Structure 1
Amino acid sequence: MNITVFCSAFALDERYTKPVREFARLLGEHGHTLVWGGSNAGLMGVVADEVKAAGGRLVGVNVGLLSHKTYQGADEMVMTADLAERKAVLLARADAIVVLVGGLGTLDEVTEVVELKKHGLHDKPVVLLDTEGFYEGLRIQLARMEAEGFLPRPLNELVGFASDGATALALAEA
């Protein structure tokens, strides 16, 4: 499978990197291809290093403005003109999407892929690895949207939440 991963480009505390390493190692061991933002920075670099070390394939999708942080050693690197094109390519290349901890860019990415799924423009699994309860606030907001009629499909059809890397990968593979 091609598993697109959205995550932070910042170096983070071990409480966040340890579950990411576990997930990435399993992704590689299961023979999947990592499709990610193509960066060597922060968690993006951690994910790529772990997948590669575990025997997985790497497909980076980077953007010109971040080309100075391009991961060296990817099996394939796609350069895009802007962030919108990057998101479109990341989704197009995905069989499943797994969202790790991240900032505003990651939040933008996950909300877009869930919105597109809500409208039936794709039906790929979308899984959030909820490390340390990082996405609990988002889960609460999405549940409220569902309860108050803002979602045309049940929330569990749009996105799954996992508390560990093994569960995240299993949901992506399902």
Structure 2
Amino acid sequence: MNICAFLSAADLDARYTRPAREFAELLGKGGHTLVWGGSESGLMKVVADGVQEAGGRLVGVSVDFLAAKARTNADEMVIAGDLAERKALLLAKSDAVVIMVGGTGTLDEATEILELKKHGKHTKPVVLLNVAGFYDGLKEQFRRMEAEGFLPMPLAELVFFAEDGVGALAYLEESAGVR
């Protein structure tokens, strides 16, 4: 399965890097392909290293103004002209999406993917990996949106919240019919 991960390129402490590395190793050992922003820095590097070292494939989609930071030993690397094209390519090359910890770029990617799903533009499973409670506030906001009628579908059909990589991957594989 090609699993797109949206995540930070920042250097983060162990409460985020350790679970990200564990998830990456699960992907690689499971024979999955990581589709990601292609960066050779921060959490993106941690996850790419973990997937590759565990036997998985890497498909990167960088963007022209970040191309100098792109990983050079990915199985495939595409350079998009802008961020909109990058997001479209990431989604097109994936079977499922995992949103890991990140900043405004990750949040932008997450909301676009969820908006596209809400409007039926894709049906791929989406997981918010809520490591160390990072997305607790967002989870509560989504629940409020659902309760107050802002979501045209049940929250559970839009996104799955996983507390760890094992739960995230189990949900994705079950959704895709992978054993």
- The TM-score, its normalising length taken from structure 2, stands at 0.96
Partner of 1:106: 106
Partner of 2:124: 124
- Runs of 4+ aligned residues of structure 1 deviating over 3 Å after TM superposition are none
Aligned residue for 1:35, secondary structure, equals strand
Written as runs of structure 1 = structure 2, the 5 A alignment for 1:91-102 is: 91-102=91-102
Mapped partners of 1:83, 1:140: distance in 2:
28
Letter in 1 for 2:115: E
Partner of 1:73: 73
Number of residue pairs matched? Answer: 174
Aligned residue for 1:74, secondary structure, equals coil
1:48-90 C-alpha deviation (Å, 9 max, x unpaired): 0000000000000000000111112100001100000000000
Partner of 1:16: 16
Alpha-carbon RMSD across the aligned residues, in angstroms, is 0.5
Runs of 5+ unmatched residues, structure 1: none
Instruction: Give the share of equivalent positions with the same residue, in percent.
Output: 67
Letter in 1 for 2:163: S
Partner of 2:56: 56
Quote how far apart the aligned CAs of 1:3 are: 0.2
Mapped partners of 1:134, 1:70: distance in 2:
26
Aligned residue for 1:105, secondary structure, equals helix
Letter in 2 for 1:158: L
Partner of 2:36: 36
Quote how far apart the aligned CAs of 1:172 are: 1.6
Partner of 1:142: 142
Partner of 1:155: 155
